[in-house]
Amino acid sequence: MTFQAPSGTNSLNVAISEHVARIVIDNHQRKNAVDLAGWRALAALIPELAARPDVRVIVLSGAGSDFCAGADISEFDTVRRDAATARIYEAANSAAFAAIRTSAVPVVAAIRGICFGGGFGLAASCDLRIATEDARFAVPAARLGLAYPLDAMIDIVTAAGAQMARYLTLTAQPIDARQALAGGFLLEIVAPESFEERIGKIAAAIAASAPLSVKASRLSIMSVVTKDPLVARMAQEAGDATFDSADYAEGRAAFKERRKPDFQGR
């Protein structure tokens, strides 16, 4: 089924099928650069989709041959012209990254071609990142004289490591998919002809898993990364909840009966 994206932008296409929501950034004339309205729409869209009972995983991609070239620089003279407007703009950036990072369901980045700047930030905030062989990555803020938002930098360091984050931000130089894979930023590289099939299989595997177990695992991993006592407590509670769930009973029954479990998320 199709889904109406938030008002204010026509650059996001959304479709939902078999518990998988697909968001496509569609501004291919500008290599899927995101304008201010787009950042705000993403921040609203992710939690709205994640709250739906028919969505268990979100796949984020770009239209055509590129993932996302980052922020739409063509509007910077208006929306990011000085410190005051930059703070407003960065708040919209950060809200989009946070919506992905804290999403109630996993978010998978399906990356083709260019993944630069804010696009790199979007990918870094996702749970998993899979790319084609032609993917290229960069954080070119230093070429524009800008500073990257702190929360987005945390995502980059977490996803790519401190040394790779330094290289990308200090040199503003791009890296290819194999360098991104070697640095740990990518889960895997897939040939273009097999890319959609592979993304579909990963999304389907997540969608078929017990939602409460997925939630507990993601919170546990976040607890390890953030070392936040509140997140650790949430992870413990989420883990405890799985043992009293109908899905745990279904998982045991399916194992005994040698069939695929039918998890309902409760």
Question: Residue 2 falls within a domain, yes or no?
Answer: no
Could you list the residue range(s) of the whole structural domain that residue 92 is in?
12-207
**Alpha carbon separation from 24 to 5, 178, 202 (Å, rounded):** 11, 24, 17
Residue 19 sits in a domain whose CATH number is: 3.90.226.10
For the entire predicted model, the pTM comes to: 0.92
Cβ–Cβ contacts within 10 Å for residue 156, how many? 22
Instruction: Based on the fold, state whether residues 194 and 228 are members of the same structural domain.
Output: no
Phi, psi of 209 (to 5 degrees): -80, 160
Together in a domain, 27 and 134: yes
In a domain, 38, yes or no: yes
Do 187 and 220 fall within a single domain? Answer: no
> 248 and 135 in one domain?
no
157 and 35 fall within a common domain: yes
Residue 6 lies in a domain: no
> Roughly how many angstroms between the first and final C-alpha of the chain, as a whole number?
24
Let me know whether 223 and 106 are in one domain: no
Whether residue 202 is found in the same domain as residue 214: no
DSSP state of 182: H
The pLDDT, as a whole number, for residue 265 is 83
Can you give the pLDDT at residue 150? 85
Please report whether residue 4 resides in a domain.
Answer: no
DSSP annotation string for 105-133: S-EEEEE-SEEETHHHHHHHTSSEEEEET
| Residues 98, 222 within the same domain | no
- pLDDT (tens place) for every residue of the chain, 266 residues total: 555 555 455 689 999 999 999 999 999 889 999 999 999 999 999 999 999 999 999 999 999 999 999 888 777 777 677 778 778 878 898 999 999 999 999 999 999 999 999 999 999 999 999 999 999 999 998 888 877 888 889 999 999 999 999 999 999 999 999 999 999 999 999 999 999 999 999 999 999 999 999 999 999 999 999 899 999 999 999 999 999 999 889 889 989 998 898 888 88
Q: Rounded to whole angstroms, how far apart are CA atoms 201 and 185?
A: 20
Distance CA 93, CA 71 (A): 9
Residues 112 and 17 in one domain: yes
- 140 plus 251 within the same structural domain: no
**Structural tokens at position 81:** 């012209």
Total domains present in the chain: 2
Q: Quick check: is 1 in a domain?
A: no
Which pLDDT value is given to residue 74?
Answer: 79
Of 207, 226, 247, the domain-final residue: 207
For residues 129 and 224, state if they share a domain. Answer: no
* Inside any domain, residue 175: yes
pLDDT at position 28, please?
84
Residue 263 lies in a domain: no
Residue corresponding to tokens 């889960």: 187
What pLDDT, on a 0 to 100 scale, did the predictor assign at position 152?
87
Query: How far is 56 from 264, CA to CA, in rounded Å?
Result: 10
- The verdict on 178 and 250 lying in the same domain is no
In a domain, 224, yes or no: yes
